[in-house]
Amino acid sequence: MLTTTLLRSAALIEGLRLEDSLPVGALVVEPVSYEGGFAGRELRDTFNNLLAVHGFVSAFDRPSWAVQLATRRRLAFVGTPAVEVDQIVPASMEAIRTLGQLVDALALTHGGAPRIFAAVNELSSDGGNSWRTLALMAGSGTYPGNALERLLPEGDLLAAIDPRDIWVCAQSAPLAALWLSLYRDVSAESRWDVQVLRACSLLEAIGRERLARDAVVVDGSGNALLDHTGSKATTGQLRGLIYVLVRDAVDNVVSSPRVLLTHQARSLGMRLVSGSISATWWDTRGNGFHRGYRAHLQDPNGDPPRL
């Protein structure tokens, strides 16, 4: 006799303001009351204690903390009905992805910036009479660290960057302050594809302000790189603009010449190398939908691939 496996999922949504239960298809999104809690409620005591330890006399009382914080950090709960699954891991990933798409839709219909704060997956092998935990998820994953450090070959070190220098620059340069704020938002983005698209948009904005638009793009040896037509690539093209911007920025803080390489066909493709993991960046728009990788396309005439 075949055993049927059931899967169900639930998520705690942060940043969704509901007053009543909201049916959405087969799901029901239920608001969590103020009394039930809001994201960050427990941090009031932590902040008050730190203020006192450092000699401050101010302190938040419970009402003032709740009124200011809870408006954007209200909580809601949603659970899925049990469904039969054949492959547990793909089905569980799809369940959380589907709930994430629901949250995206709620952001449009209800405003704010809701996100999944925590989620669970459970399994049953006896028709739903008993359940066991498959996965517990909370937050936004592991700490990402510094992006440049992740690109360095093993054993190489990142040159020290003094945050004071960046801070002072931002105070006197409005554009730099804007770029820093946008970068912080990009770093906080939990969805990989959206993060890539936002990062490329930020690089484009910086490049248009910082670089001349008629420079020929060259590699580390001074050889011109080619665009998708076979002509010399320039910073007047988006890919050339971002390539030069990233190359110059990396050269300022990283001594290794192996971090930023060019494609073997000398076309304008950036290959970022981290240990044994490499990814060829082809199209600054399209790579977000291909998770940073696009297959090399061979020309029908046998010519090497170009961008």
Do 21 and 117 belong to one domain?
yes
What is the pTM for the complete model shown?
A: 0.68
Last residue of a domain, one of 138, 157, 172: 138
How many CB atoms lie under 10 A from the CB of residue 1? 3
Whether 302 maps to a domain, the answer reads: no
Do 91 and 223 belong to one domain?
no
Do 259 and 221 belong to one domain?
yes
Core vs surface per residue 238-251: b (16+ CB within 10 A) or e: bbbbbbbbbbeebe
So what's the pLDDT on residue 45? Answer: 94
Percent of the residues in the chain that have a pLDDT greater than 90, as a whole number: 32
Domain that includes residue 92, residue range: 5-138
Whether 82 maps to a domain, the answer reads: yes
So what's the pLDDT on residue 267? Answer: 45
Instruction: Give the separation between CA 128 and CA 117, rounded to whole angstroms.
Output: 26
Higher pLDDT residue, 296 or 56?
A: 56
Which stretches within the chain are classed as H helix? 43-53, 62-69, 88-110, 147-151, 163-172, 174-188, 192-210, 238-253
Q: Which two tokens stand for residue 55?
A: 């000699």
Residue 256 pLDDT grade (very low, low, confident, very high; cuts 50, 70, 90): low
DSSP 152: S
Do 134 and 157 belong to one domain?
no
Residue 295 pLDDT grade (very low, low, confident, very high; cuts 50, 70, 90): very low
Q: How many domains, in total, are found in the chain?
A: 2
- C-alpha 296, offset from chain centre: 25
Q: Among residues 74, 94, 85, 83, which one has the least CA distance to residue 22?
A: 74
Whether 307 maps to a domain, the answer reads: no
Do 286 and 172 belong to one domain?
yes
The per-residue pLDDT for range 45-55, each reduced to its tens digit, is: 999 999 999 99
So what's the pLDDT on residue 257? Answer: 57
The per-residue pLDDT for range 183-198, each reduced to its tens digit, is: 888 887 877 788 888 8
Whether 34 maps to a domain, the answer reads: yes
Instruction: Give the separation between CA 136 and CA 302, rounded to whole angstroms.
Output: 50
Do 16 and 121 belong to one domain?
yes
Do 285 and 158 belong to one domain?
yes
Do 54 and 130 belong to one domain?
yes
Residue type, 46: T
DSSP 259: S
How is 159-225 classified by DSSP, letter by letter? PP--HHHHHHHHHH-HHHHHHHHHHHHHHH---HHHHHHHHHHHHHHHHHHHS-SSPBPB-TTSPBP
Do 42 and 79 belong to one domain?
yes
Do 124 and 15 belong to one domain?
yes
Whether 70 maps to a domain, the answer reads: yes
Last residue of a domain, one of 89, 116, 138: 138
Last residue of a domain, one of 138, 165, 190: 138
Do 239 and 277 belong to one domain?
yes
Do 93 and 120 belong to one domain?
yes
Whether 185 maps to a domain, the answer reads: yes
Whether 157 maps to a domain, the answer reads: yes
Higher pLDDT residue, 60 or 155?
A: 60
Q: Which helix (H) or strand (E) holds 28?
A: strand 27-31
Contact assessment for residue 203 and residue 285, using Cβ atoms and an 8 Å cutoff: no
Whether 191 maps to a domain, the answer reads: yes
The per-residue pLDDT for range 102-145, each reduced to its tens digit, is: 998 999 899 888 999 999 999 999 999 999 999 999 887 777 77
- The neighbouring-strand residues paired with 76 are 13, 31
